[in-house]
Amino acid sequence: MYADADIPTEVQRALTNFLDIQAERLAEIGPELAEPVQAARDATAGGKRLRPSFCYWGFRAAGGDTGQPILTAAASLEMLHVSALVHDDVMDSSDVRRGAPAAHRRFEALQRARSANSGRGGDPVGFGVGAAILLGDLCLIWADEMLHTSGFDAAALARASKFFDAVRVEVTAGQYLDLVAQASGEADMDRALRVLRYKSATYTVERPLHIGAALAGADQLLIDALSTYGLPLGEAFQLRDDLLGVFGDPTVTGKPAGDDLREGKRTVLTAYAVEHASEVQLAEFDRLFGRRDLDDDEIQLLREILQDSRAVQACEDLITDKTEDALAALDRAPIEDENVRKALADLVVAATSRHL
């Protein structure tokens, strides 16, 4: 049994144990497989463990007892998250993740070194992209295996799999919407709100809560209450993340300053700005937004447009409203254990604070 306070440590331990077993299995196929295993180890290290935390506390909210099965099941959501991040970085051509090279860049460097040694060999960029696609696939497969070998009985797993299927499809669908939004070159508030919901809110908060609760046998009343708490909280989390993607400190976000502006990320923040900017601002915005070679002055100019159009304030107001909605829902939720209530209230702060 584990104290509730040790979740990030125990999640790390579960991931390490699982990858140790996978490393042995893959070593039988070939020594080359040590490379993706090490990449998976590095990619699953660190992070705030938000999704495992919501899963864990959903389980406890439904009366589940702490122990190895829920910690392993919770960790499976971190594995799922790493899969999404690895593929996302390929799709966005991002160079950096959590202050380290993105997976595809890491594999690219590996191949470059190998070619330099042997004096021959293929395109390192192509190798990097291919290897990262496979690493993301492995993590997606492993997330599933971690969940169904976590130690829960078949009935509990059957209850949870409905939500696990839902979240995997929702986040992939949300990513597709996001890709369409980026590619459209246009602001579309309706689509930005749907990306917010499916790429982030259900995936980061609501479904992890549901998976944990279902493993403990929650009734529909609690499942619904967790949605009423989790959906606005998940949206507030992503709105904060969008603000940090533009205004965040690189030493905190682990990404270069203004990265989302260079990538042309179509968020609620930018959709609001486009809706409310003056004609002159809009022309400037269109000229600069999504350009890979933005310099510091140009990033500053885009930030000012987001400020002056009141898009930043609108997002801050939304975060406040949604955070309050989540806390009010928590007050009304059928949860008896005061420790669980406190943990879920603390997670509201952790998920939406400015120093995320």
- Among positions 138, 261, 318, 319, the unique one binding a copy of itself when judged by CB under 8 A: 138
Choose the binding region for a copy of itself from 45-53, 60-68, 114-122, 331-339 (rule: CB under 8 A): 114-122
| Helix, coil or strand: residue 44 | helix
Query: Six-digit token pair at 190?
Result: 């309706």
Q: What is the token pair recorded at 79? A: 């594995």
Q: Please say whether the beta carbons of 209 and 324 come within 8 A.
A: no
Task: Choose between 96 and 173: whose C-beta lies nearer to a copy of itself.
Answer: 173
Dump strand ranges (E) for the chain: 96-97, 100-101
Residue 340: which residues within 8 A CB-CB, separation 6 or more? 57, 60, 61
Shorter beta-carbon distance to a copy of itself: residue 10 or 178: 178
Binder to a copy of itself among 182, 228, 282, 284 (CB under 8 A)?
A: 182
Among 198, 229, 237, 289, binds a copy of itself (CB under 8 A): 198
Give the nearest distance from C-beta 149 to a copy of itself in angstroms: 8
Is 117 a residue that touches a copy of itself (CB under 8 A)? no
290 backbone dihedrals φ, ψ, rounded to 5°: 85, 5
Q: Could you tell me if 305 and 281 are in contact, meaning their C-beta atoms sit under 8 angstroms apart?
A: yes
C-alpha distances out from residue 23 to 128, 142, 155, 301, 340, Å: 21, 12, 29, 48, 36
**Minimal distance, residue 14 CB to a copy of itself, in Å:** 17
* Minimum separation from the CB atom of position 19 to a copy of itself (A): 12
Say whether residue 122 binds a copy of itself (CB under 8 A): yes
Q: Is 264 in the site for a copy of itself (CB under 8 A)?
A: yes
Tokens of 22: 């996978």
Whole-Å CA distances, 274 to 186, 244, 259, 281: 9, 19, 19, 9
Min dist. Cβ of residue 93 to a copy of itself (A):
7
183 is a contact residue toward a copy of itself (CB under 8 A): yes
Would you give the binding string for a copy of itself spanning residues 5-24, x where CB under 8 A is met?
A: -----------------x--
Q: Are 87 and 246 in contact (CB under 8 A)?
A: no
Q: Which positions touch a copy of itself (CB under 8 A)?
A: 22, 25-26, 29-30, 32-33, 35-36, 83, 87, 90-91, 93, 111, 114-115, 118, 120-124, 126-127, 129-131, 133-134, 136-138, 140-142, 144-145, 148, 154-155, 157-158, 161, 165, 168-170, 172-177, 179-180, 182-186, 191, 194, 198, 264, 290
